[in-house]
Amino acid sequence: MGKLQTLTNGIIKENPVLVLVLGTCPTLAVSTQASNAFGMGAAATAVLLGSNVVISLLRNVISEKVRIPCYIVTIATFVTLVQMVLNAYAYDIYKALGIYLPLIVVNCIILGRAEAFANKNSVLDSALDAIGMGIGFTLTLFVMASIREIFGNGTWYGIEIPVLKDNHISILTMAPGGFFVFGCLIAAVNKWFKNKPVKKDFDQGCEGCPMASACGGKKDNCEKEGAEA
Amino acid sequence: MSIKVFAAIILTAVFVNNYVLQQFLGICPFLGVSKKFDSAVGMSIAVIFVMLLATAVTFPIQHFILDKMDLGYMQTIVFILVIAALVQLVEIVLKKYVPALHASLGVYLPLITTNCAVLGVCIDNVDSYMTATGFGASYAQALFNAFGSGLGFMMAMVLFSGVRARIEDNDAPPSFKGMPITLIAAAILSVAFFGFTGVIENIFG
């Protein structure tokens, strides 16, 4: 796999949100305003880059049995760093993201990439993968938030949009709108990029499964779950 | 502290601030494990159990260790590690002493470690109830909130497993098959919960 492909993989072909359907909670929750979505995307990308590089560096040191706790500690450390930086320099975003900022720790994308990519690839490749996945995540969040903000609130990045301001569909900025816009976006990606609808194919391994990081990629867990999920 | 306060906390957590449908926490299991009624119930019971236990452990940690020693910034790391260790411990204990329960809940336990609803409820409790007067009262409120949130999760899961059984039989447009149509069904279910806004204030007001 070429370096460029590693980088671009995450943006469309393996887009973490729309194709792999990982990290759904922050996607739905912070995509009410374009500025929040961008902040969330940037924060998650920073954590992803840091954790992927560190885990890739340590991939020969960490023993197989304790790898998940090691990854979680690494990720939690970077999340704490990002929290501190945002608290100091971007307090508005820090307040807007609220509880979802510490919850980056349990974002499946980050643990998923550590497990699926960083622990078997070189540092450079892992960094590129992290940047690609980060851009894919940020872009998706940004597009979704733009749709919700423009139609739901009649503004975009705080700029008022003349006609829509008076005719906004405010339900789009509330919880149901999140589910609805997300569903439509996935459908649009399926349609335009000729992707097959995402299938959780458990014979193909655990990489496409949002639960993979949690069950440690153990096939036995998968098969019990897999029949249903 | 009257019973009214606790009833209000539970009802608010279940209906108004439903973790899944209003706050978007725990979406992964909500979409992943809700295809069958049995697995939806099993997962929800495991979540209620872990939420209660995690709150019972992390709340005192925050109060007696992190706040006392000015280590508030360590919250994220400490909480996630405590929850992960706790889930492992519960699994080991159940396997040894209550094999029957382990057989029905065991599959779901490892999935819960990285469930954002569990970490979310711990952080949320610390944020909302830590300031209440006295440790005992705030601890009790936090525990009730954890239980209510778990019940809310269960209700969303059970309702949605019924909805999904219907979706399976229907003929959706090809690009909407699978995840998109499921999400749109979730949107409609979420609209239903708007009906509860303001109800709790009026009952207990």
The closest CB to that of A83, out of B76, B184, B188, belongs to B76
Contacts of B177 in chain A (CB under 8 A): 197
Binding-face residues of B in 132-191 toward A, CB within 8 A: 173-184, 186-188, 190-191
Domain that holds residue A121: 9-198
Give pLDDT tens digits for A62-96. 888 888 888 888 999 999 999 999 999 999 889 98
Q: Do A199 and B114 touch (CB under 8 A)?
A: no
| % pLDDT > 70, chain A | 84
Nearest CA in chain B to A185: B180
Q: Which long-range contacts (CB under 8 A, 24 or more apart) does B190-195 make?
A: B190/A175, B190/A176, B190/A179, B190/B21, B190/B22, B191/A171, B191/A176, B193/A175, B193/B15, B193/B16, B193/B18, B193/B21, B193/B22, B194/A174, B194/A176
Amino acid letter for position B135: F
Q: Is B4 on the interface with A (CB under 8 A)?
A: no
Q: Is B194 on the interface with A (CB under 8 A)?
A: yes
The closest CB to that of B179, out of A26, A175, A186, belongs to A186
| pLDDT at site B202 | 76
How many residues make up chain B in this entry? 205
Residue ranges with strand state E in A112-178: 155-156, 159-160
The closest CB to that of A73, out of B81, B177, B190, belongs to B81
pTM listed for this prediction:
0.83
Min mean pLDDT across A81-85, A215-219, B78-82 is at A215-219
Contacts of B15 in chain A (CB under 8 A): none
Give pLDDT tens digits for A152-204. 888 888 788 777 777 788 888 888 888 999 999 888 888 887 655 444 443 33
d(CA A171, CA A153): 9
| pLDDT at site A215 | 47
Q: Is the pLDDT of residue B135 over 80?
A: yes
What is residue B72's three-state secondary structure? helix
Domain boundaries, chain B: 11-198
In a domain, A113, yes or no: yes
Give pLDDT tens digits for A99-156. 888 888 888 888 888 888 888 889 999 999 999 999 999 999 999 999 998 888 888 8
In a domain, A93, yes or no: yes
Q: Do B119 and A188 touch (CB under 8 A)?
A: no
Most A-contacting residue of B18, B19, B27, B39 (CB-CB within 10 A), to test interface: B27
A2's CB contacts (< 8 A; 6+ apart) are: none
Q: How far is A7 from chain B (nearest CA, A)?
A: 26
| pLDDT at site A210 | 47
Q: Do B190 and A179 touch (CB under 8 A)?
A: yes
Contacts of A68 in chain B (CB under 8 A): 84
Tracing tokens 């194709």 back to the chain, one arrives at A19
In a domain, A204, yes or no: no
The closest CB to that of B80, out of A105, A186, A191, belongs to A105
Residue A25: both structure tokens together: 């909670």
The closest CB to that of A213, out of B114, B180, B184, belongs to B114
d(CA A229, CA B43): 12
In a domain, A106, yes or no: yes
Residues A175, B18 contacting (CB under 8 angstroms): no
Residue A135: both structure tokens together: 């851009």
Looking at residues B129-138, what average pLDDT do you find? 77
DSSP calls for A151-163: HHHSEETTEE-HH
Most B-contacting residue of A28, A101, A186, A215 (CB-CB within 10 A), to test interface: A186
Q: Do A229 and B33 touch (CB under 8 A)?
A: yes
Q: How would residue A222 be classed by pLDDT, with cut points 50, 70 and 90?
A: very low
| pLDDT at site B1 | 60
| pLDDT at site A194 | 64
Q: How would residue B165 be classed by pLDDT, with cut points 50, 70 and 90?
A: confident
Q: How would residue A205 be classed by pLDDT, with cut points 50, 70 and 90?
A: very low
Instruction: Count A/B contacts: CB-CB distance under 8 Å.
Output: 154
Q: How would residue A221 be classed by pLDDT, with cut points 50, 70 and 90?
A: very low
Residues B151, B125 contacting (CB under 8 angstroms): no
Report DSSP state, residue A2.
-
Q: Do B111 and A225 touch (CB under 8 A)?
A: yes
ipTM of the complex: 0.84
B69's CB contacts (< 8 A; 6+ apart) are: none
Residues B161, B36 contacting (CB under 8 angstroms): yes
- Counting the structural domains of chain A, the total is 1
Neighbour count for residue A224 (Cβ, 10 Å): 15
Contacts of A103 in chain B (CB under 8 A): 25, 116, 119-120, 123
Q: How would residue B72 be classed by pLDDT, with cut points 50, 70 and 90?
A: confident
Q: How far is B174 from chain A (nearest CA, A)?
A: 8
